[in-house]
Amino acid sequence: SLNVCKICHVQKKKTRGKTFCVGRNSIMHSSVCMPLTGVHFALDRITSTVACDMDLSKYPMDEQECMLDLESYGYSSEDIVYHWSENQDEIHGLDKLQLAQFTITNYQFTTELMNFKSAGQFPRLSLHFHLRRNRGVYIIQSYVPSILLVAMSWVSFWISQSAVPARVSLGITTVLTMTTLMVSARSSLPRASAIKALDVYFWICYVFVFAALVEYAFAHFNADYMKKQKNKIKARRQSGEINVKNAIVLFSLSIAGVNQELAISNRHHRIPRSLPGSYGTIEIETGETKQQQEMKLDKKSGLKSLFKPIDADTIDIYARAVFPAAFAAVNVIYWVAYTM
């Protein structure tokens, strides 16, 4: 049969005549085929491991462009010419190729002549292909758990302020779980100096989880502060009532002393020159004391108005609306920034 080939020579060697510009390790499989017609065919097959420089700043929403360049190493364009076939039937399988992390969205072929001043021109075949990273795995393994942890931290806003162990344990648990998720996810991420999009999202979620714990500390501080203020006001009222009672007793005693002195003076037909404990003296002393107290209270109220405490339940009510709204807004900004 004319189609039967006899393989006379097969060898496996390092590539010498052809090289991949970004290849790390290349092996050439060469064979010579002589059919019965007498026409000799030289067949070369190259197995190569190539590298592709990637920008991981948008990982895992990144799209990469990689190049596969085949270039002559020992022969210039005067000795050998490379070109892609017109119908490109020899290049097939890229449309159906399935990768674990990427999807090939587009590819194109180019033929170039590389000009080296000292050596001349060398032919090069280039294959440019665009890769889009598959995001489904990262959404399930990283994004969804982070969102659920942030939502779990909001449960503390509906727990009573008096349930200190429940709220503290929930806040600490969510913070530690978020930390564990960040560490475990980073161990499987490619090492790069650039800040990746997934790292940014992890830190956003960590800030919201930590802020929920800080919110309870702030609300609890305000609750204790208001409780202490109420106790101080109550103590002042009690001391004021005691002072009023003492003043009434002293006033009644002074009235009794005046009446007694008037009775004695009537007996002796004379009016006393000075009456101890008279009405005017009491009123003047009482008035000066009230003015001083009011001035002191005005100064204190002016300082306290700058740091006016908020009711703890009111803080929780605001947090129930502010935290989800802020997290939703940040998510919109994040996804628009990294997917556009």
Q: What is the pLDDT of residue 199?
A: 92
Token pair 């994040």: residue = 334
Q: What is the pLDDT of residue 116?
A: 78
Peptide bond into 60 cis (omega under 30): yes
Q: What is the pLDDT of residue 307?
A: 59
**Maximum CA extent, the chain:** 165
Q: Hey, which of 35-49, 230-244, 324-338 has the most confident mean pLDDT?
A: 324-338
The answer to whether residue 237 scores a pLDDT higher than 50 is yes
Q: Which of 197, 204, 185, 189 is nearest to 63 (CA)?
A: 197
Q: 34-43, 178-187, 271-280, 290-299: which has the minimum mean pLDDT?
A: 271-280
The answer to whether residue 134 scores a pLDDT higher than 80 is yes
Token pair 């107290």: residue = 293
- Cβ neighbourhood burial of 82 (10 Å; 0-12, 13-18, 19+): middle
Count of other CB atoms within 10 angstroms of residue 146: 22
Q: 206-210, 218-222, 278-282, 305-309: which has the minimum mean pLDDT?
A: 278-282
The answer to whether residue 221 scores a pLDDT higher than 70 is yes
Average pLDDT of span 174-202? 87
Judge whether 40 and 32 are in contact, CB under 8 Å.
yes
Secondary structure (DSSP) of 7-65: EEEEEEEE-SSEEETTEEEEEEEEEEEEETTS--EEEEEEEEEE------TTTTS-EEE
Q: 83-87, 89-93, 198-202, 335-339: which has the minimum mean pLDDT?
A: 89-93
Average pLDDT of span 95-108? 85
- CATH architecture, range 53-134: Distorted Sandwich (2.70)
The domains of the chain are located at 1-51, 53-134, 140-246+278-339
Q: What is the pLDDT of residue 327?
A: 97
Find all residues with CB under 8 Å of 324, minimum gap 6, and list them: 154
Q: What is the pLDDT of residue 201?
A: 96
The answer to whether residue 210 scores a pLDDT higher than 90 is yes
> Would you tell me the crossing angle of helices 164-188 and 197-268 to the nearest 10 degrees?
160
Q: What is the pLDDT of residue 214?
A: 92
The answer to whether residue 11 scores a pLDDT higher than 50 is no
pLDDT band at residue 287 under the 50/70/90 scheme: very low
The answer to whether residue 263 scores a pLDDT higher than 70 is no
Q: 7-21, 65-79, 290-304: which has the minimum mean pLDDT?
A: 7-21
pLDDT band at residue 258 under the 50/70/90 scheme: low
Q: What is the pLDDT of residue 49?
A: 80
Residue type, 287: G
Q: 63-67, 208-212, 227-231, 248-252: which has the minimum mean pLDDT?
A: 248-252
Q: What is the pLDDT of residue 226?
A: 74
The answer to whether residue 298 scores a pLDDT higher than 70 is no
Residue type, 231: N
pLDDT band at residue 24 under the 50/70/90 scheme: low
pLDDT band at residue 338 under the 50/70/90 scheme: very high
Give the whole-angstrom CA distance, residue 176 versus residue 210.
10
- Domain 140-246+278-339, CATH 1.20.58.390 — does that match? yes
The answer to whether residue 86 scores a pLDDT higher than 80 is no
Please give the DSSP secondary-structure letter assigned to residue 159: S
Q: Hey, which of 33-37, 155-159, 257-261, 283-287 has the most confident mean pLDDT?
A: 155-159
